Amino acid sequence: MDDKDLELLRILEENSRLSAQEIGSMTNLTPAEVEARIHALEENKIIRKYTTVINWEKAGNSEVSAIIELKVSPERDFGYDRIAERLSRFRQVRTLRLITGTYDLQLMVSGKNMQEVSRFVSEHVAPMDRIRETATLIVMKSYKENGNTLFEQQETERLPYSF
């Protein structure tokens, strides 16, 4: 890892669809060097995945999501890891984090509708051993995801010329 790698990561995090040529011209690297560096970053699992930020609501998808908070009794030797890894395997769990505060684990869960989400929580999550308490917070609207605002912002008027 060097400064050029960091620069590549910043560029890709913002837009992973740029070509090696385009990235090369921005960083003074040849396209082959860009590809080699990106390949190494992928091999080292620093780059985990290339994904897309989608405004699903605008796409007409009625999928709903909820934040589920869990109080969990940690296991001897394993702490929260084993139960967290088990929960992670569910397709419905989009994000899972260990947090401080009243609850221990925080999940982002999504499903086709509220019934599906609540059935998932009541049938699969709540009955798990070591889960002492759950709280389900329904997401009503999302304004920002992964650093990207989802609402329309007004273009600022700029003069065509200024010194």
Residues lying near another protein in the complex (CB under 8 A) are found at 7, 10-11, 22, 25-28, 156, 158-163
Which of 103, 108, 130 has the alpha carbon at shortest distance from 120?
108
* 28 versus 146: smaller Cβ distance to another protein: 28
Beta carbon nearer to another protein, 77 or 155 = 155
Q: Nearer to another protein by C-beta: 48 or 158?
A: 158
Q: Please, which residues have CB within 8 angstroms of residue 92's CB and are 6 or more apart in sequence?
A: 109, 110, 111, 117, 120
8/26 Cα distance (integer angstroms): 10
**In the complex, least distance from residue 158 CB atom to another protein, rounded to whole angstroms:** 6
Q: From the CB of 155, what's the least distance to another protein, in Å?
A: 11
End-to-end CA distance of the chain: 40
Shortest spacing between CB 51 and another protein, in angstroms = 20
